[in-house]
Structure 1
Amino acid sequence: MIRLDRITKQNGKQLVFIEASAALQRGEKIGLVGPNGAGKTTLFRMITGEEQPDEGQVQSERGVTIGYFSQDVGEMAGRSVVAEVMDGAGPVSEVAAELAELGAALADPDRADEMEALIERYGEVQGRFEELDGYALDGRARETLDGLGFSQEMMEGDVGALSGGWKMRVALARILLMRPDVMLLDEPSNHLDIESLIWLENFLRGYDGALLMTSHDREFMNRIVGKVIEIDGGTLTTYSGDYAFYAQQRIQNEAQRQAQYERQQAMLAKEIKFIERFKARASHAAQVQSRVKKLDKIERVEPPRRRQSVAFEFQAPPRSGDDVVMLKGVEKRYGSRSIYDGLDFAIRRKERWCVMGVNGAGKSTLLKLVTGTTTPDSGSVTVGGSVKLGYFAQHAMDLLDGERTVFQTLEDAFPQAGQGSLRTLAGCFGFSGDDIEKRCRVLSGGEKARLVLALMLYDPPNFLVLDEPTNHLDIGTKEMLVEALSAFEGTMLFVSHDRHFLAALSNRVLEITPEGAHQYGGGYTEYVASTGREAPGLRS
């Protein structure tokens, strides 16, 4: 359906693609992967025709419809959420608009002399609308919005009143309702809670068109794609298999490439040593010339391009007492709405609690109660002896001084630390080279999250409270964080919608439901096995 044939593309001084080729066939579901800045968004824009390659061709089959979801959702205001979604449904939305205009014209007494022509045209358009299943459009739009977490009240509300994250969901719903021949989805899993993620996962698995998508959620991608295209160093490499197969294959390919490179380097060193040793001897002139010619003809094996990733190792945190936090009879209300009514909950040393619950259940409220950011209306929250708390909250990113650079921010926090130590810390969290000189005000959401995590983990607390720590983080940074937190010797309480993160780190689950809080002795994997669902809000 879509073919990229030997494309070359340069953005400024950066060569993004160099004679790269790939194809997207009918019905294929492909994951697009690569480091930040590799050119994933540029590739999408070339497929949609928003950008052109400098050389080579991007070819699409005639008549193919393409739906593109990007992180730049544009302006939305002035109509209801459901109307905004229906407006993006492709040809049927255009027919619906004409049908509405004709309906208004038929009711206009000033156009009585056109009535015969208007009735005839209305019949034609109505027939086309029925053909496109237009009368089911409103129901399909609401079903899609419901799957993405919208209440009926939100669907009827003004789209302009929504936050950026909810507008992202509206933009995504428009593309899903359109059901084009080809869907291009750039990070559709951003801003979604776990229930919406699983709904979208099921929707995309049942979608019969072709799909090309990026995602920072490895579990989400793993369950949908059957092929992976990797962008790295200007090339496109296709792997047949899911994301887990790609990750494994990439490691194997790198190891083989490294072994080939080392074998060739050893051979070259041996040949060069012979040439240097005998080049001045007339008796060996023919052999020397033969080996020089041989070296000139050898195609050099390039070493594998290594992704810059530095493992972060915790300093050992100080030991806390066995009782870390005790909540007794906690009640918390917001207006007339009761969040907690007599909650009893205890966290003991080395426990790793993940908190599950539908939107609005009170997950973040619990974290705020535990950290003292908010106080209970009644009951008590007691923090145990020798507890040193580290709290990652979304608002923490707003507290960074926009005029300070990444490195200055680290220096301000740890004035006694050496420059080398802080540079290593920055490198672990993805700030290498000139990145450490960036001012905080120009950092992306992911970069801010990485910086706040670096500040919190350099001098580690013994009790970590994390509210959606993986939001905006790419797969590589998430892997580093999971690895680092797996080695963490303290206690954890966290909320996350990333299932890989949940399964890798939790050993206890607190599920918050309207009927009360339920505790599970195993981690997230055991929770899924015992409840038969991946999240509390899923309908069976």
Structure 2
Amino acid sequence: MIRLDNVSKQNGRQLLFVEAAAALQKGEKIGLVGPNGAGKTTLFRLITGQEPPDEGQVLVDRGVTIGFFSQDVGEMAGRPAVAEVMDGAGPVSEVAAELAALEAAMADPDRADELDAIIERFGEVQSRFEELGGYALEGRAREVLAGLGFSQEMMDGDVGALSGGWKMRVALARILLMRPDVMLLDEPSNHLDLESLIWLEQFLAAYEGALLMTSHDREFMNRVVRKIIEIDGGSLTTYSGDYAFYEQQRTLNERQQQAQFERQQAMLAKEISFIERFKARASHAAQVQSRVKKLEKIERVEPPKRRQSVSFDFPQAPRSGEDVVNLRQVHKRYGSRAIYEGLDFMVRRRERWCVLGVNGAGKSTLLKLVAGATEPDAGTVSVGGSVRMGYFAQHAMELLDGDRTVFQALEDAFPLANQGSLRTLAGCFGFSGDEVEKRCRVLSGGEKARLVMARMLYDPPNFLVLDEPTNHLDMATKEMLVAALAQYEGTMLFVSHDRHFLAALSNRVLELTPDGVHQYGGGYTEYVARTGQEAPGLHA
């Protein structure tokens, strides 16, 4: 359906693709992976024709429809979310628009003399609309929006009133409703809560078209894709299998290549040593010559490209008292909506609570109450002795000083730290080389999140309260964070939609449901085994 033939592409001074080749066949589900800046988004733009290749060609079969979801959703305002979604449904939305125009024309007294022609055309357009499933379209649009977490009010409300994250979901819903032959999805798992993510997984599993997508969520990738295309060093390499298979295979390939490289280096060293020893002796001249020629002809094995694996040994947090935080008979309302009515909840030292619940269940509210960012209407929240709290929430990113560089922001927080360790810290969170000189005001949401996280963990508090800490983090940074937090000896209370993060780090689960608050001993994995569901809003 789509083929890249010897495609080369340069972006400024950076070579993204050098004679790269890959194909997407009918019904295939492929994950696109590669380090940040390797060219994943550029590849999507080449396929959609938004950018031309410098050399080679991108071939798309005639008549193939492509739906492209990117993080850049553009402006949306002035109509209900459901209308915005239906508008993206391809040919059927154009037919719907003509149908509406014809209905208006039939009711227009100034066009009475054209009525017969208008009625005839209306009949034709109406049957085409039925053929395309137009009358079922609104129902399908609402189904998709509900799957992505929208309430009926949000579907019917002005799309312009929604936050950036919800507008992303509207843009994603447009592509899903369109059901094109090929879907290109750039980070569709960003901004989704756990329930919506699992719904999307099931939707994509049942989707019969071809799919090419990127995602920083390994569990999501493993469940959706059956093939991986890796972009690295300008070339595209295809692996047949899910993300876990790709990781194993790549490690194996790297080991084999390293072994080949070492064997060849040993052989070359032996040959060079022979040539050096005997080059001055006339009796060995012929042998020396033949070995020199042999060396010139040998195709050199390259050592495997070393991936920068980031790791950082975070210092241990000071010990807190046994009772870390205690909520007693807490009541909290927003307007007429009661979030908590008499909540009792206690966190003890070294417990790692993950908080689960559908949108609006009060997950972020609980974290705000614990962190003191909001007050209870009644009841008490008491923090224990010697507790030093670190609170990470999306709004923390707004507190960065836009005029300071990344490195200065770290220096401001830790004036006594040596520069080397701060550079290592910056590198762990994805700021290498000149990136530490970027001003905070030009950082993307993901970069800001990484910087705030770095500042919090360099001198870690003994109680971490984290609201969606993995939003915007790529897989390598997530892996580093999971490894670092696995060694962390403090206490944690967190909300995350990343199942790998939940399973690796929780040892308690707090479930917020309409029929009450439930506490489970054991982490997320035990919770799934016990309840038979991966999230409270889903029932197996």
DSSP 3-state at the match of 2:291 = helix
Counterpart CA distance in 1 for 2:352 and 2:227 is 35
RMSD: 1.1
Residue number in structure 1 paired with 2:506: 506
- What is the match of residue 200 of structure 2? 200
What SS does the aligned partner of 1:466 have?
strand
Distance in 2 separating the partners of 1:60 and 1:146: 33
CA deviations on 1:114-173 (whole Å, 9 max, x unpaired) are: 111111111111111111111101111111111111111111111111111111111111
Aligned twin of 2:348: 348
Deviation at 1:539, TM superposition (A): 4.8
Counterpart of 1:371?
371
Counterpart AA for 1:41: T
Superposition pairs of residues 245-260 of structure 1, within 5 angstroms: 245-260=245-260
Local SS of the residue matching 2:10:
strand
| 1:411-430 alignment, distance < 5 Å | 411-430=411-430
Superimposed CA distance per residue, residues 75-133 of structure 1 (whole angstroms, 9 cap, x where no aligned partner): 11121111111111011111111111111111111111111111111111111111111
Find the counterpart in structure 2 of residue 54 from structure 1.
54
Structure 2 distance, partners of 1:235, 1:533, is: 40
Count of paired positions = 540
Contact 1:159 / 1:167 at 8 angstroms: preserved in 2? yes
Q: CA deviation at 1:58?
A: 0.8
TM-score w.r.t. structure 1 length?
A: 0.98
Corresponding residue for residue 278 of structure 1: 278
Q: Look up the match of 2:70.
A: 70
Q: How far did 1:512 drift?
A: 1.0
* 1:480-515 deviations in Å (ceiling 9; x for gaps): 111111111111100001111001100000011222
Matched residue type, 1:366: L
TM-superposition CA deviations, 1:294-316 (whole Å, max 9, x none): 11111111111122222111212
| Aligned counterparts, 1:26-37, within 5 A | 26-37=26-37
How many Å separate the matches in 1 of 2:255 and 2:436? 31
State how far apart, in whole Å, the 1-side matches of 2:86 and 2:341 are.
41
Partner in structure 2 of residue 266 of structure 1: 266
Q: CA deviation at 1:280?
A: 2.1
Answer whether contact 2:532 2:539 (CA < 8 A) is retained.
Answer: no
Q: Distance in 1 between matches of 2:326 and 2:12?
A: 57
Q: Is the 8 Å Cα contact of residues 309 and 430 (structure 1) preserved in structure 2?
A: no
Q: For residues 34 and 452 of structure 2, what CA distance do their matches in structure 1 show? A: 24
The whole-number CA distance in structure 1 between the counterparts of 2:413 and 2:283 is 69
d(CA) in 2 for partners of 1:419, 1:276? 46
Task: Tell me if structure 1 keeps the 8 A contact 2:326–2:345.
Answer: yes
Alignment gaps of 5+ in structure 1 = none
1:360-509 aligned within 5 A: 360-509=360-509
Q: Which amino acid letter does the alignment assign opposite residue 101 of structure 1?
A: A
SS in 2 for 1:173: helix
Structure 1 CA distance, aligned partners of 2:115 and 2:336?
Answer: 55
Among all aligned residue pairs of Structure 1 and Structure 2, give the percentage whose two residues are the same amino acid.
Answer: 83
Task: Show the counterpart of 2:15.
Answer: 15
What is the DSSP-based 3-state SS (H/G/I as helix, E as strand, rest coil) of the residue aligned with 1:449?
helix
Q: Which runs of 4+ in 1 moved over 4 A?
A: none
Whether 2:232 is the aligned partner of 1:217: answer no
CA deviations 1:415-434 (Å, max 9, x no partner) are 11111111111111111111
Query: What's the CA shift string for 1:327-375, capped at 9, x where partnerless?
Result: 1111122222221111111111111000011111111111111112222
Please say if residues 349 and 490 of structure 1, whose CA atoms lie closer than 8 Å, have aligned partners that are also in contact: yes
- Normalised by the size of structure 2, how large is the TM-score? 0.98
1-structure distance, mates of 2:377, 2:90:
51
- Take 1:79 and 1:539, find their aligned partners in 2: how far apart are those partners? 33
| Corresponding residue number in structure 1 for 2:239 | 239
Report the AA paired with residue 269 of structure 1: A
**Code of the aligned partner of 1:36:** N
Specify the alignment match of 1:122 in structure 2. 122
Shift of 1:282: 1.8
State which drifts further: 283-292 or 102-111. 283-292
Alignment match, 1:533: 533
Q: Contact 2:310–2:477 (CA<8 Å) still a contact in 1?
A: no
- The Cα offsets for residues 39-88 of structure 1, whole Å up to 9 and x where unpaired, read as 01111111111111111111111111011011111111121111111111
**Counterpart contact for 2:310–2:476, Cα < 8 Å:** no
Paired letter, 1:177: L
Instruction: Answer whether contact 2:218 2:243 (CA < 8 A) is retained.
Output: yes
Q: 1 CA distance for matches of 2:529 and 2:70?
A: 35
Query: Aligned AA for 2:184?
Result: L
**In structure 2, how many angstroms separate the alpha carbons of the residues matched to 1:170 and 1:343?**
34
Deviations 1:388-426 (Å, cap 9, x if unpaired)? 111111111111111111111111111111111111111
